Amino acid sequence: MNRPAVPFNRRAWHTGAMAQVIDNRTRRPGQGGRLASPGRGPATFTAFGLAAEAEPMSAGLYVVATPIGNLGDISLRALQTLAASDAILAEDTRVTRTLLAHYGITTPLVSYHEHSNDAVRERMILRIREGQALALVSDAGTPLVSDPGYRLVEAAIAEGLRVVPLPGASAALAALVVSGLPTDRFFFEGFLPARSAARKTRLAELADIPGTLVLYEAPHRIAESLADAAAVFGPRAATVARELTKLFETVRRGTLSELAEAYAAEPQPKGEIVLLIAPATAETRGAETRATMDDKLRDAMARHSVKDAAALVAGETGLPKRDVYARALALSKDALG
């Protein structure tokens, strides 16, 4: 049995949440907003088995967070915005179409991704200037977080156009709150370099950040990245969160070396992965210093005598010459077997 669409009552779910929504009767030229675009019926969405008619919207760029897996994690405000927009700018229209179909939304989709050029952005800016409301979404989560969209937002701001955030799901934050690691300070790095040498270099640059590191990683690189992080950071605590909010959600905790060994011994995982690494403690910082010293000594001893290599590394690191020389002798003996 089809139920008639009913006007969406914004006061029932958030007083003032749609303060920027304008009434059709008071809309001024250039503000945008509509009951329906040409060729479309009324802007509606379906939630909880009921169809609701979305109110018209004023012109602007609406940055809309979408679910990272579970379609139930979208907000009512996001549904209203996606339904009422003149168009939805999507990273991958096939992915976004699945979400829209689930909620009965028929707003036209426009492809907007990391390869979209200046001409595409200019057309989008022109549409907003002409009074349209455009919604920007990524494949999953909050747009602009390791996703395209920054240049479009930058261009809209430069033109003096309204940019409206609609907060919601974020893989980085979802992983952080279940990691068991400190949440008072954290640093989002995104994806590390694909090659081991560059990855270790970047990890070393992140070593002194006084907060939990939040990184994204590809499934086929997670074991190697954990091993490189263990080599750089020593025995820091870490968490690997995979497929959050989805059917096969898993959260694994341990030291970096423990997790590296576990993933190296298992078949390659699948899905979206967030890697979180605890900030340094006095214990782990000592291990990091030793690991860094060992790498420098091995590199120096490939070109110099043990004594000269120890002197060079002591000068670079500021560590006591006696300690560096003792470590150099130990590494030399290990190399000889």
Beta-carbon-side half-sphere exposure of residue 106 (alpha carbons within 13 Å): 11
Judged against a pLDDT cut of 60, whether residue 10 lies above it is answered with: no
Please, are residues 74 and 99 in contact by the beta-carbon 8 Å criterion?
Answer: yes
The band of 287, judged by pLDDT with boundaries at 50, 70 and 90, is: low
Q: Provide the pLDDT for residue 329.
A: 87
Mean pLDDT over all residues of the chain?
85
177 φ, ψ (degrees, to nearest 5): -75, -15
Residue 337's pLDDT is 59
Cα–Cα distance, 84 to 14 (Å, whole number):
17
Nearest 5°: phi and psi at 277?
-125, 130
Alpha carbon distance 46, 229 (integer Å): 46
Q: Which token pair is 274?
A: 């967030």
Percent of the chain scoring above 70 in pLDDT: 83
Which two tokens mark 127?
A: 């549409």
pTM: predicted TM-score of the whole model, two decimal places: 0.74
Q: What's the pLDDT at 41? A: 55
- Tokens 């490939």 belong to residue: 302
Higher pLDDT, 317 or 2: 317
Q: pLDDT tens across 57-116, in order? A: 999 999 999 999 999 999 999 999 999 999 999 999 999 999 999 999 999 999 998 888
Does 234 have pLDDT greater than 90? no
Q: What is the mean pLDDT of residues 179-186?
A: 97
Whether residue 21 has pLDDT greater than 80: no
**CA–CA separation, 109 vs 114, rounded Å?**
16
Confidence check: pLDDT of 303 > 50: yes
Q: Which fold has domain 6-168?
A: Cobalt-precorrin-4 Transmethylase; domain 1 (3.40.1010)
**pLDDT tens digits for range 27-54:** 333 344 444 444 455 789 998 888 999 9
Residues 6+ apart with CB under 8 A from 165: 63
pLDDT higher than 60, residue 20: no
Lowest mean pLDDT among 100-104, 239-243, 321-325: 321-325
Quick one: pLDDT at residue 300?
A: 87
Domain boundaries, the chain: 6-168, 172-280, 284-336
CA angle 324, 288, 182 (to 5 degrees): 155
114 vs 278, higher pLDDT: 278
Q: What is the pLDDT of residue 286?
A: 59
Is residue 182 within 8 Å of residue 278, measured between CB atoms? Answer: yes
Question: Which CATH architecture does the domain made up of 172-280 adopt?
Answer: 2-Layer Sandwich (3.30)
Q: For the ranges 188-197, 208-217, 301-310, which has the lowest average pLDDT?
A: 301-310
Q: Cα–Cα distance between 129 and 122 in angstroms, integer?
A: 10
The one-letter code for the residue type at 18 is: M
Domains 6-168 and 172-280 in one fold: no
Q: How far apart are CA 39 and CA 21, in angstroms?
A: 23
Contact by Cβ (8 Å): 259, 252: yes
What is the predicted pLDDT for the residue at 283? 63
The whole-angstrom separation of Cα 229 and Cα 235 is 9
pLDDT of residue 24: 32
- State the Cα–Cα distance between residues 187 and 196, nearest whole angstrom: 21
The residue-averaged pLDDT of 250-262 equals 97
Report pLDDT for 16: 34
pLDDT tens per residue across span 108-165: 999 998 888 899 999 999 999 999 999 999 999 999 998 889 999 999 999 999 999 9
Q: What is the 3-state secondary structure (H, E, C) of the chain?
A: CCCCCEECCHHHHCCCCCCCCCCHHHCCCCCCCCCCCCCCCCCEEEECCEEEECCCCCCEEEEECECCCCHHHCCHHHHHHHHHCCEEEECCHHHHHHHHHHCCCCCCEEECCCCCCHHHHHHHHHHHHCCCEEEEECCCECCCCCCCCHHHHHHHHHCCCCEEEECCCCHHHHHHHHHCCCCCCEEEEEECCCCHHHHHHHHHHHCCCCCEEEEEECHHHHHHHHHHHHHHHCCCEEEEEECCCCCCCEEEEEEHHHHHHHHHCCCCCCCCEEEEECCCCHHHHHHHHHHHHHHHHHHHHCCCCHHHHHHHHHHHHCCCHHHHHHHHHHHHHHHHC
**Quick one: pLDDT at residue 3?**
42
> Between 36 and 203, where is the model more confident?
203
What is the pLDDT confidence band of residue 293, given thresholds at 50, 70 and 90?
Answer: confident
Structure tokens at 250: 């898993």
